[in-house]
Amino acid sequence: MGRTWNLHLLLVLLVFAASLFAACADTSMDAQWLLKIKSQFVDPHGVLRSWSMENDVCRWKGLRCSENSAQVVGLNLSNFGLSGSISNEFSHLTSLEALDLSMNSLTGLIPPELGQLQNLKEVLLYSNFLSGKIPSEMCLLKNLQVLRAGDNTLTGELSPCIGNLSNLRVLGVGYSQFNGSIPAEIGKLKYLESLNLQNSGLGGFIPVEIGNCKELQLFSAENNRFEGEIPASMGSLKALETLNLSNNSFTGSIPVELGGLPNLKYLSLLGNRLNGGIPSELNQLKELTTLDLSRNNLSGPITIFNTGLINIDTLVLSDNSLTGGIPSDICVGNSNMKKLFLARNKLSGSIPPALLNCSSLRQLDISNNGLDGEVPSGLDNLGNLTDLQLNNNSFTGTLPPQIGNMSNLETLFVFHNCLTGGIPAEFGKLKRLSQLYLYENQMSGTIPRELMNCSSLTEIDFFGNHFSGSIPATIGRLKNLVVLQLRQNDFSGPIPPSLGYCKKLQSLALADNKLAGKIPPTFRYLKELSLVTLYNNSLEGPLPQSLFLLKNLSIINFSHNRLSGRIFPLLGSNLIKLDLTNNSFSGPIPIELTNSRNLIRLRLGHNRLEGYVPAKLGLLTKLNFLDLSFNYFNGEIPPDLSNCDKLEHLLLNNNNFTGVIPSWLGDLDGLGELDLSSNVFHSTIPRELGNCSSLLKLSLHDNVLSGEIPLEFGNLTSLNVLNLMRNNISGSIPSTIQQCEKLYELRLSANSLTGEIPPELGRLTELQVILDLSKNFLSGEIPSTLGNLIKLERLNLSFNNFQGEVPPSLGKLTSLHVLNLSNNLLQGQLPPTFSQFPVTSFKGNNDLCGPPLPPCAALTGFPRKLLSQSAVIVIIAAIVFTSAVVCLVMLYIMLRIWCNWRKVSVSSADGGAGGDPGEVRNEEEKWAFGEKKRRHGEYLKVNSMTVIPPHEEQSSTKLACMFHLKMNENTLV
């Protein structure tokens, strides 16, 4: 018996020893593979220093062994700060059931060899920097229950083989860079409980097979590219508790089947393209705590009522097209709603009294609708409210004093309504109030001193009201104030010195008021101040020297005041915008200003500054707006300014600048406005200006410029305004200007331009403000193409040498309200539509007629018919020809009389005093006969037979007469 017992004991010991040896052998092999795996990791914190053969494997950090310590079954290295790659040697840990490498900095690919670990149930690789695809070999892990590989840079598609993971319960691949869609095989995962695909890059349709995942409790697919309709099959997911499909491109209506999910607690469909109404079936979701349907195209009335949604905590319906009023029973039977957001819809009507029953509300946003009526005095029933947003509606009346009883209120937004009256003094009881926005209403009165008790106030914005009186002297009590916006009111008096004790102030806007006095020296305490705008007031005196201490100032606008002295205190190195226009500052530009290397806007116009422009302004390479106009600067434009290649506006007008216009201005590609007018620039206009393709306004008037208008100006195709008036520019108007098709103002007057108006100017159909070519030496006719400028309001062609008629096409310029054609050589009848203009518009053209001038018939005695130039030439030729014929006839008559007189004289000489009376009678009878014939209506036909006398005398005199008569025979017959 004892021998038998000893035999059994020996056998047990042998078995134990054999198993112990096998276990040691297994863990020893695992240890060797783990050390190889360790070599692939970078361990900057030494968390794996325990991984050494000197220690028992099962005591290595992050490892879990089986109960008999025979195998390593778990490896948890999460958040160890490891980097490097995942070794393919993991394939040798065949007993591994759980692998957690999450929240490290691992890179490279997921090794396909992981697919050989058939015992794996859990793989956690999320929050690393892994790349590439999820290897298809992972689909071989039949026992896998959890796969989380999100928050990496994984690419590719979700393989359909994922349907082979029949035991999978959790799949998380969110925050990746996948493409493709959800494979239909997802429906094979009968035990799937959590599907997390947010921010994964997936798109396409959600397969209807998703309805087969009956155990699904969480489905998160927000921020992807999914489209199409939400499948109605999702109504089969009875276990679903969370459904988040927000920020995709789903269309169609909300499936009514979603109302059949009894366990649903969270439903978010925000940021899609869903339309139609809100299904009333959603009221059946009694477990629902959060419903967000915002940022869609939903329409119709609000059909969500708390009679059904008894557990609703957050209801968000903002940014839709919902109509009707706020439902009166939206809070019936429910005291749990804490957040109600209905902003940016088309709701109308007044605030229903029943809304005031939502006593648990903490946030109420009904802004940006069409709500009207008065703000109800019972708002203080919402005693838990921390945020109240009523802005951008049409509320009228005054703010109820009862708001002062809402002791938890932190944010009150009622801006952009039609509220009147003052700020209730009771607001001073709102100790937690942080933001008070009343801007863009019609409120008036003074700021109550009680408001200074609201010590938690960080932001005050009263812009665009009618508040008056002085800024409270005790405003310095608001120690937490960060933003003070009082612009565009009627505040008067001085800036209170106590304002300097609001030491957290970052933004101060007191512009557009009636403030007077000096800027308080206490501003030196506003060390956090970055923006200050005091423009359009009546502030005066010099700037406090202490402003030099405000190093954080980035935006300063003191324009349109009466400030004087030097600008030296405003030299903070963080300056971005400085505007001091319309003051009385004097002295030079301080060279220290160039230390503000981030300055993008410098406006010093309309002051009394003088001296040269510092060359170091060229160090302000970020400058895009430089305004030095209306000062007393002199000298030349420093060439260093060419370094400011981001300039968009350069205003140097109305100074005493000399020299030539620099050609480097043509290198400023972004220049949109260039005004060098009213200076003493001379020489020619540089043709390089034609390279400024972005130029919108070019003003060079009132200088001493000469030469011609550069042809390159035709390249300024964006130009709106061109003003070259009052210079010595000569030559003709270049036809290339037709390419400036966006011109709406063209002024070239008071120069020495010659030639004709290019007909191509008629193509500038956007000309509207003025076309002024007056006081030049232009000639020729006014081109009829100017009749195409139908938008033109002012046309001035006076004091030139234009001739010919006023083209009838100009009568189509129905937008003209100023016209001046005076002092030219124009003639003919004016277009009928010109009768509306005064006579002075046409004076100095003596041959013009028609209303408003005298009628054309009054000048000629009969209606004048306007003749073309060719007709005038024909008429002149006819007059010359007719005059020649008349002269010849007169000459013939005179010669004939002379010949007959000569004959009588000769006869008398031959026959003496008592010559032959028969000849005399015959001559008298001939003239008498001719006279008799004319009395009977016959015309004397003169030819060679009638002028030859019957006698045969052939004296030289007779022959001469006969010769001359023969010469005119054909003409006179």
Long-range (24+ apart) CB contacts under 8 A made by 916-920 are 919/951
Q: Is the pLDDT of residue 600 over 60?
A: yes
Q: Is the pLDDT of residue 223 over 50?
A: yes
Phi, psi of 935 (to 5 degrees): -70, -25
Phi, psi of 887 (to 5 degrees): -60, -40
Report the Cα–Cα distance between both ends of the chain, in Å, rounded.
184
CB atoms within 10 A of CB 471: 23
Residue (of 964, 962, 933, 936) closest to 949 by Cα position: 962
Choice between 925 and 627, residue whose per-residue pLDDT is larger: 627
Secondary structure string (H, E, C) spanning 680-738: CCEEECCHHHHHCCCCCEEECCCCEEECCCCHHHHHCCCCCEEECCCCCCEECCCHHHH
Q: Which two tokens stand for residue 513?
A: 């008021």
User: What average pLDDT does the structure give for the chain?
Assistant: 88
Whole-angstrom CA distances from 588 to 509, 544, 607, 630, 633 are: 28, 18, 11, 14, 9
Coil, helix or strand at residue 65: strand
Whole-angstrom CA distances from 119 to 98, 114, 824, 959 are: 9, 11, 105, 153
Dump pLDDT digits (tens) for 269-284.
999 999 999 999 999 9
Q: Is the pLDDT of residue 921 over 50?
A: no
Q: How confident is the model at residue 67 (pLDDT cuts 50, 70, 90)?
A: confident
Q: What is the pLDDT of residue 896?
A: 63
Structure pTM? 0.78
Dump pLDDT digits (tens) for 131-147.
999 999 999 999 999 99
Mean pLDDT of 922-943: 32
Determine the Cα–Cα distance for residues 594 and 622; give it in Å rounded to an integer. 11
Determine the Cα–Cα distance for residues 829 and 855; give it in Å rounded to an integer. 8
Dump pLDDT digits (tens) for 468-522.
999 999 999 999 999 999 999 999 999 999 999 999 999 999 999 999 999 999 9
- Return the bridge partners of 75, or none: 63, 99
Q: What is the pLDDT of residue 212?
A: 97
Q: What is the pLDDT of residue 876?
A: 62
Q: What is the pLDDT of residue 885?
A: 65
Q: What is the pLDDT of residue 308?
A: 79
Bridge pairing between strands 63-65 and 72-76: antiparallel
Q: Is the pLDDT of residue 75 over 90?
A: yes
Dump pLDDT digits (tens) for 98-125.
999 999 999 999 999 999 999 999 999 9
Helix (H) or strand (E) holding 16: helix 2-39
Mean pLDDT of 251-266: 97
Mean pLDDT of 785-809: 97
Q: What is the pLDDT of residue 886?
A: 66
Q: Is the pLDDT of residue 34 over 50?
A: yes
Q: What is the pLDDT of residue 858?
A: 54
Q: How confident is the model at residue 899 (pLDDT cuts 50, 70, 90)?
A: low
Q: What is the pLDDT of residue 888?
A: 73
Secondary structure string (H, E, C) spanning 306-326: CCCCCCCCEEECCCCEECCCC
Q: What is the pLDDT of residue 798?
A: 98
560: left (phi over 0), alpha (psi -120 to 50) or beta: left
Q: What is the pLDDT of residue 197?
A: 97
**How far is residue 15 CA from its own chain's centroid?**
85
Q: How confident is the model at residue 329 (pLDDT cuts 50, 70, 90)?
A: confident
Whole-angstrom CA distances from 158 to 122, 282, 385 are: 18, 32, 46
Taking CA 177 as the corner, what is the angle to CA 204 and CA 99, rounded to the nearest 5 degrees?
115
Listing DSSP states for 514-582 in one string gives EEEEPPPGGGGG-TT--EEE--SSEEEEEPPGGGGG-TT--EEE--SSEEEE--TT---TT-SEEE--S
Determine the Cα–Cα distance for residues 339 and 386; give it in Å rounded to an integer. 10
Whole-angstrom CA distances from 497 to 197, 494, 880, 919 are: 58, 9, 95, 135
CB 782, CB 758: distance < 8 Å: no
CB 534, CB 563: distance < 8 Å: no
Q: Where does residue 901 rank: exposed (0-12), middle (13-18), buried (19+ CB within 10 A)?
A: exposed
Q: What is the pLDDT of residue 322?
A: 97
